[in-house]
Structure 1
Amino acid sequence: MMISLDAVHVGMPVFDSDGEQLGRVKAIRRPDPKAAAFEERVCSSPPSLFFLGIGSMVGIEPKVPPEMALRLFRQGYVKVAPPHFWAEDYYAAGDAIDKVEGGAVHLSLNRRELEAQE
């Protein structure tokens, strides 16, 4: 069962499955109903290094590999800003949210599992 992203708000603390606070919700993107059609079109056309790399060069969100970006668009996601300014933001797909409780987002993944997705 996927938790609705409607229950998530910018500024909420985010905890991993080990109970460690990863940071706070910086942005929320709802699932994109057109993502599946877009993915099908991309998969049926020859890959283009220009297309695959242009998003990260111009700062388009999410800043993850193309396969993960497609998953994030399909599922929706939260962007988590870590408490340290030198740390990179995390992206958690909607299906990685275990629960929203007590004004906080709790993920079903720990920090290492979340980082391994990207």
Structure 2
Amino acid sequence: MSQQVISRVTTGMRVVDSTGVEVGTVDLVQRGDPNAVTVQAPAGVDPGGSLDELIESAAVEEPDVPADLAARLLRSGYLKVSTELAHTGAVYVLADRIATVTDAEVRLDVPAAQLPEEE
């Protein structure tokens, strides 16, 4: 279901949370890949390094969140939303948090405060 909903979202659409607060505008739409795996170590990386070092060395551009959340976002699909509500200027929305999509607006089923911020 969430894949059908996310396929109707386009960049530039307004995003509104469950309380009616305008979150911002869609910056990136990424459909889910149920086969997405967690970040794997590139060759030559110290296997004893921390997960954060591993992710940095893999140069993962999006989504810019902790590894466990990134894996969930990649599997389910997500929106990156430009917003003034986050100090980093962007939040991520899991596809299954999209309640409805109209021609001009994406309405979420959670309040903006629950959306993970870009790191």
Same fold (TM over 0.5): yes
- Deviations 1:30-67, CA, capped at 9 Å, x for gaps: 111321xx24x79xxx7841214435xx4611110111
Query: Residue 32 of structure 2 contacts residue 74 of structure 2 at CA under 8 Å; is this kept in 1?
Result: yes
Kindly report the root-mean-square deviation, in angstroms, between the aligned alpha carbons of the 2 structures.
2.9
Mapped partners of 1:48, 1:10: distance in 2: 37
Mapped partners of 1:78, 1:47: distance in 2: 33
Mapped partners of 1:96, 1:76: distance in 2: 10
Per the alignment, residue 61 of structure 1 pairs with 62
Q: Where in structure 2 are there 5+ consecutive unaligned residues?
A: 42-46
Per the alignment, residue 89 of structure 1 pairs with 90
TM-score normalised over the length of structure 1:
0.76
Matched-pair identity in %: 32
| Superposition misfits of 4+ residues, deviation over 4 angstroms | 83-87
Per the alignment, residue 71 of structure 1 pairs with 72
| Counterpart pick for 1:51 among 47, 54, 69 | 54
Per the alignment, residue 15 of structure 2 pairs with 14
Structure 1 residue 85: deviation in Å?
Answer: 9.6
Partner-residue secondary structure (3-state), 1:9: coil
Q: Where in structure 1 are there 5+ consecutive unaligned residues?
A: none
Larger helix proportion of the pair: 1
